[in-house]
Structure 1
Amino acid sequence: MSSTRTAPSAPHRQNSGTPHSGIPTYLSLVDGKSVPGPEWVYVVDAGALLDDAFASLSLKRRLESGRPPAGDLPPSIVGRVAKADRETSARALEAASRAAPQWAALPQETRIGRFGALLHRRLREQAGEITRILVQEGHPLALARWQVSGMLECFGPESTGFYRDQMLQEFRHGARSISVRRRPDGVVCLNPPQNAPLSSALLGVTSVMAGNALVVRAPRSAPLGVMYVMHDVVAPVLEEVGAPPGTLGVLCGDPAPLLTQWLESPLVDDVMYFGSSSNGLRFQERCVAAGKKPILELAGNDVVVVWKDADLDLAAEALTESFYGSGQLCMIPNQVLAHPDVADELVALLARKAAHVRPGHPGEEDVLLTPVLRNEKFFDCLADALGKGAELVCGGHAMQADGTRDSAGIFLEPTVVLVRGMERAREVRAVRHETFFPLLPVVAAGPGPDEVLLDRFVDFVNSNAYGLRNSVWARDPGVVDRFVTRITRGGLLKVNDSHIGFLPYLPTHGGTGLTGGVFGEANYPILRTSHVQGVSVSPGSRPREAVFGAWQALQDAAR
């Protein structure tokens, strides 16, 4: 696989009449080759959008319609990506179908051990560049670093060792060698979300370790990071370990036609889909009808439980993660259930800490809030909560990048509302559903014996229609054990820890209910895109003994 990033004089350059001006340019990656497309998608620096959104978006529209300005492109244009047509997409699927059985035939140590180690090293080497591109696409610097840390954990030695153990277990039974192994499904297609496409695409790369071929769609809204990490990081590593061309395909295009093509193609086995719960569950039905395995990453509505003996300062600090990225991340805290003895103190601490979560340009060190371009749903959701008796603790206004309150501002203040009582808490929309805004409801439970409250807290968490991740803050080992053994919803449960921090072995995504659909569980793509097979190898057993041997042994023991 050769690198598919093109320089201004590269032979793949499309005759579009648009000047290169030295900007990073990516074509589709199909069968190990760069393939041009009929159109370009241009990427505008997120900082320039904050400074002058109208001018930046107008320039982007002119460029994509084939009307370039005179002279060189301004520095606000940070890259361009070829948009793939249907024929290019079909070729990518054909190449993946050819490559998958060849790649799967290579030893597991090559696909998991060597590939994982080399990819981890290259991600470490390119961490600064990946971070820079994420910031260009609008991720605050701190959250860009957070995403990179997750990528490194996903392919770190502890995690790859866990993947290796899960993919193959071997036993002896008499003269027989017995193994339980996972086999690749074949061709996996991945449709990442617009809010975190780069890290989501990398998550899907673990499906390649299982022996699958992978085709990734880079979203038009933020294609540069996906293209960079796939072309300049993943593809060279696959080439180094001897993967056949076609093991990785990368395209930029509109989601609807590509998803339809994947469902219609007999070459596709699995589809990884990121999106809203309503859209994802409908897509799940289409997958099943088409005979494809749906692997869904949908909305989250995570619960954080704060018990009466919790370290409230640390718990409040973890709860501010709800506001990271202005709440537009699926794995942040979305609702809090607090013990009545500490609810008011917790809310006061949380309000003080939330005041330090600030907006600004994504490249600034301490910025954690991102723009919310359409905020009317935030104010509707807040009005719903207040209309149903919730108390506004802090926030509730739009603001400018410098933190000044302004009804026309494109940032939102971190907002906390207090909901008193569990009985009708889910009548509040912000409690019942994910909001995707910096709006955190704290549900203060009513008084009662701790034994009763423990049961009610567990029931509250388990009755959440979503099931991405949950966390608990408590010190009493008996209380912790009660929560750990009885909370069954979700793909991840953390105790006395960051809600969003990454750890080896543990999944970053995946869950039950409206988060993962009917087939939802913790999402290790290497496992979700493979299937279990049992294998027995005998040097030559007598068949009749194999069939009736256990029964005969039982009779002999009875005598």
Structure 2
Amino acid sequence: MTTEPRRLRNYIAGEFRDAADGRTTEVVNPVTGEAYATAPLSGPADVDAAMAAAEEAFPVWRDLVPAERQKVLLKIADAFEARAEELIAAESENTGKPLALTRSEEIPPMVDQIRFFAGAARMLEGRSAGEYMDGMTSIIRREPIGVCAQVAPWNYPMMMATWKFAPALAAGNTVVLKPSDTTPASTLLMAEIIGGVLEELGHPKGVFNVICGDRDTGRLMVEHPVPAMASITGSVRAGMQVAESASKDLKRVHLELGGKAPVVVFDDADVAKAAEEIAVAGYFNAGQDCTAATRVLVHESIHDEFVAALAKAAADTKTGLPDDEDVLYGPLNNANQLKQVSGFIERLPAHATIEAGGHRVGDKGYFFAPTVISGLKQDDEIVQREVFGPVITVQSFTDEDQAVSYANGVTYALASSVWTKDHARAMRMSKRLDFGCVWINTHIPLVAEMPHGGFKQSGYGKDLSSYSFEDYTRIKHVMTSLG
């Protein structure tokens, strides 16, 4: 017997709806490579309906006192916690992620981040009122922007959706969110939960909306006249397209794009410890992370020792099924991603050496072995471009200046790390590295209180922290005559 794929539906104005024209796309489980659901392929009518719902809800939501918006977000956090197992199951079916790691590494941070932004709703800061011209008092108002069109990626469907909707709602905006076409299931479950909280507390149904679809759906959202802001987490190409589309009516744009994180290991580092931790930071989530530790730069005096240690760490890293508690990561997200990662390996230059992995695992689903590649040069494709898979490259450097040159010598500028026992060197490197985040003797931890975002082609705008919250607000000057 074959199981009929279940039908996923858009969430607009508090209701689940099919696409207006009935079009759908298949949703594939990356563990099996087989379709388990269909989702709407939303078109202009669906985007219009979602934007109209968000626009209608905006004045009411905007005018709530912050304490009321805080109450909503706190209830959402509680509801996510209460229904965590459902969210974990949906996310794993979306992505093939290990259940145990999704439970420990995603649900707690998501809940914490929502609670952080619930508090931020009541902590807007700005200049105090004052007189800067005789007889006049100036006041600064910080206000919500309006309707926000948000596009989330497939690598962390739940968490990236949380990074978008939580600060937007906390600041008083309403939301139309599109998940990736390959991972809509967990986002739609989140919509059900959020919608239930809004209904329970008597708030407008259009505050939070989710529509499914492909790139054309995202383009329609960004080009729509209603949203005042477009936010996307995705590829550099997608970010450029969003920025171009948004420029036509001068929408505000918030972009978190690709990464190619340098991991600079100096000769005084603990080689075994560094290799072990870098392997985890490079292979977690199958390397499908813009901040993943994918590009190691190691001092020439410890190069061979480090490569051997990293290759051993790769050999000890396990990929497999979601219910296996010993695995670090599951499959790549989709067939196209498997093809992309495999293509990088197939195109390796002759001077490169595959120290570990470099191949698909099994013939079912989209699993790829933890991979280490050495002998690379700075201008090699695999050094310059984002692989977005469980692949770590290794280059050697002679001194600090060359390490900085290699590290900064890519178009991405999201995250980086430095491994050394020399405090002064760590401080110098943190200043010289042109990346939005610099970790020292660690790689990949994030906290709600600190900003996440990059420079150059990694985009602009910040996720997490009060900086993200401020990105979802606008500033107004009010001047009044004292006469």
Is the TM value for this pair above 0.5? yes
**CA offsets per residue over residues 503-524 of structure 1, 9 Å max, x none?**
23123x52111111xxx14334
Question: In the alignment, which residue of structure 1 is the partner of 2:178?
Answer: 217
Question: In the alignment, which residue of structure 1 is the partner of 2:82?
Answer: 125
Is the 8 Å Cα contact of residues 323 and 369 (structure 1) preserved in structure 2?
Answer: no
For residues 445 and 141 of structure 1, the distance between their equivalents in structure 2, rounded to whole angstroms, comes to 39
For residues 496 and 392 of structure 1, the distance between their equivalents in structure 2, rounded to whole angstroms, comes to 26
For residues 115 and 308 of structure 2, the distance between their equivalents in structure 1, rounded to whole angstroms, comes to 39
2:225 to 258, 266, 270: 266
Question: In the alignment, which residue of structure 2 is the partner of 1:100?
Answer: 58
Letter in 2 for 1:312: V
CA apart distance, 1:289: 2.1
**CA offsets per residue over residues 365-423 of structure 1, 9 Å max, x none?**
12214147355544543354442x2333222233327xxxxxx9953321112237xxx
Choose 1 or 2 for highest CA Rg.
Answer: 1
**CA offsets per residue over residues 445-500 of structure 1, 9 Å max, x none?**
12xxxxxx33433343334310121122222221222123333x333222222x23
**CA offsets per residue over residues 193-250 of structure 1, 9 Å max, x none?**
2333332222211211111110012333222111001212x22233345532211111
2:355 to 385, 389, 393: 393
For residues 492 and 419 of structure 1, the distance between their equivalents in structure 2, rounded to whole angstroms, comes to 27
1:476 to 406, 414, 422: 422
2:441 to 496, 509, 533: 496
CA apart distance, 1:331: 2.4
The secondary structure found in structure 1 opposite 2:178 is strand
For residues 284 and 501 of structure 1, the distance between their equivalents in structure 2, rounded to whole angstroms, comes to 29
1:511 to 454, 459, 464: 454
Range that drifts further, 141-150 or 358-367: 141-150
2:395 to 413, 436, 443: 443
Letter in 1 for 2:453: G
Is the 8 Å Cα contact of residues 31 and 245 (structure 1) preserved in structure 2?
Answer: yes
Question: In the alignment, which residue of structure 2 is the partner of 1:62?
Answer: none
Question: In the alignment, which residue of structure 1 is the partner of 2:324?
Answer: 364
Range that drifts further, 358-367 or 127-136: 358-367
The verdict on how the C-alpha distance between 1:238 and 1:526 changes in structure 2, with shifts beyond 3 A counting, is farther
Q: Does 1:467 align with 2:428?
A: no
1:35 to 17, 40, 48: 17
The verdict on how the C-alpha distance between 1:119 and 1:307 changes in structure 2, with shifts beyond 3 A counting, is farther
The verdict on how the C-alpha distance between 1:241 and 1:533 changes in structure 2, with shifts beyond 3 A counting, is farther
The secondary structure found in structure 2 opposite 1:338 is strand
Q: TM-score, normalised by structure 1?
A: 0.75
The secondary structure found in structure 2 opposite 1:392 is strand
Q: Does 1:247 align with 2:207?
A: yes
Is the 8 Å Cα contact of residues 39 and 213 (structure 2) preserved in structure 1?
Answer: no
CA apart distance, 1:352: 1.1
CA apart distance, 1:327: 2.2
For residues 304 and 179 of structure 1, the distance between their equivalents in structure 2, rounded to whole angstroms, comes to 46
The secondary structure found in structure 2 opposite 1:522 is coil
The secondary structure found in structure 2 opposite 1:336 is strand
For residues 222 and 194 of structure 1, the distance between their equivalents in structure 2, rounded to whole angstroms, comes to 6
How does 1:225-244 map onto structure 2 within 5 Å? Answer: 225-232=186-193, 234-244=194-204
Question: In the alignment, which residue of structure 2 is the partner of 1:14?
Answer: none
Range that drifts further, 85-94 or 208-217: 85-94
**CA offsets per residue over residues 342-368 of structure 1, 9 Å max, x none?**
322222211111112222222221221
How does 1:164-183 map onto structure 2 within 5 Å? Answer: 164-165=122-123, 167-169=124-126, 171=128, 173=130, 180-183=140-143
Gaps of 5+ in 2: none
Question: In the alignment, which residue of structure 2 is the partner of 1:192?
Answer: 152
Is the 8 Å Cα contact of residues 298 and 394 (structure 2) preserved in structure 1?
Answer: yes
Is the 8 Å Cα contact of residues 61 and 173 (structure 2) preserved in structure 1?
Answer: yes
The secondary structure found in structure 2 opposite 1:219 is coil
CA apart distance, 1:441: 0.9
Aligned residue-pair number: 467
For residues 425 and 235 of structure 2, the distance between their equivalents in structure 1, rounded to whole angstroms, comes to 34
Q: Does 1:533 align with 2:476?
A: yes
2:237 to 254, 273, 278: 278
The verdict on how the C-alpha distance between 1:352 and 1:478 changes in structure 2, with shifts beyond 3 A counting, is same
For residues 303 and 440 of structure 1, the distance between their equivalents in structure 2, rounded to whole angstroms, comes to 10
For residues 180 and 371 of structure 2, the distance between their equivalents in structure 1, rounded to whole angstroms, comes to 30
For residues 414 and 434 of structure 1, the distance between their equivalents in structure 2, rounded to whole angstroms, comes to 16
The verdict on how the C-alpha distance between 1:357 and 1:442 changes in structure 2, with shifts beyond 3 A counting, is same
CA apart distance, 1:123: 2.1
Question: In the alignment, which residue of structure 2 is the partner of 1:69?
Answer: none
How does 1:128-147 map onto structure 2 within 5 Å? Answer: 128-137=85-94, 138-145=96-103, 146-147=105-106
Letter in 2 for 1:29: Y
The verdict on how the C-alpha distance between 1:410 and 1:135 changes in structure 2, with shifts beyond 3 A counting, is closer
Is the 8 Å Cα contact of residues 337 and 442 (structure 1) preserved in structure 2?
Answer: yes
For residues 263 and 438 of structure 1, the distance between their equivalents in structure 2, rounded to whole angstroms, comes to 32
CA apart distance, 1:188: 0.6
Is the 8 Å Cα contact of residues 171 and 469 (structure 2) preserved in structure 1?
Answer: yes
For residues 482 and 112 of structure 2, the distance between their equivalents in structure 1, rounded to whole angstroms, comes to 45
Identify the structure with bigger relative contact order (alpha carbons < 8 Å, sequence gap 6+): 2
The verdict on how the C-alpha distance between 1:470 and 1:325 changes in structure 2, with shifts beyond 3 A counting, is same
The verdict on how the C-alpha distance between 1:399 and 1:32 changes in structure 2, with shifts beyond 3 A counting, is closer
Q: TM-score, normalised by structure 2?
A: 0.86
The verdict on how the C-alpha distance between 1:260 and 1:413 changes in structure 2, with shifts beyond 3 A counting, is closer
Gaps of 5+ in 1: 1-18, 58-76, 402-407, 447-452, 543-559
The secondary structure found in structure 2 opposite 1:243 is coil
